[in-house]
Amino acid sequence: MLFLLLAALAQATQTPQISLTPPMRTIERSAMSFVDTPRQVTLRTAAEWTVAWRAHAGDRQAPVVDFSKEMVVGVFLGTRRTSGYSVEIVRTREENGALIVQYVETQPSPRAVTAQVITMPLHLVAIPTRAGEVRFEKVDK
């Protein structure tokens, strides 16, 4: 009985393992892009980054990313008919060996007064590089 009590006490005093979201660095978050179809991207090389940045921003200078330490993940919402839409990558988590990128999509309420302008919201972030599968998951706020 004493052994079971000591085992339970030892287990209760152990520090729980908390999986922290790795640091994220926003590269670009905007309502305007040249990417007009919805897509999620995982970019692990400078060549992939160059192609994706040009598709998004044309000839504008691409921000520097150190692909020896970082990779880029992003969400493009595609064309929206008004202002008031946005997307934000809020966290990442591990699940069964895959990296899950969670994002929140915001849209204007039905009664909102919005500018009648076409927008193409996006969010690109740099995260610590890792091999393996990356999946995207839309979540509620």
Where residue 24 falls among pLDDT bands split at 50, 70, 90? very high
List, as one string, the DSSP characters of 41-101: EEE-SHHHHHHHHHHHHTTSPPPP--TTTEEEEEEE---BSSS--EEEEEEEEEETTEEEE
Task: Output the six-digit token pair for 16.
Answer: 């729980």
Q: Are strands 25-30 and 39-43 parallel, antiparallel or unpaired?
A: unpaired
pTM: 0.82
Where residue 22 falls among pLDDT bands split at 50, 70, 90? low
Q: How much is the pLDDT for 138?
A: 97
Where residue 141 falls among pLDDT bands split at 50, 70, 90? confident
What integer is the mean pLDDT of 93-120? 93
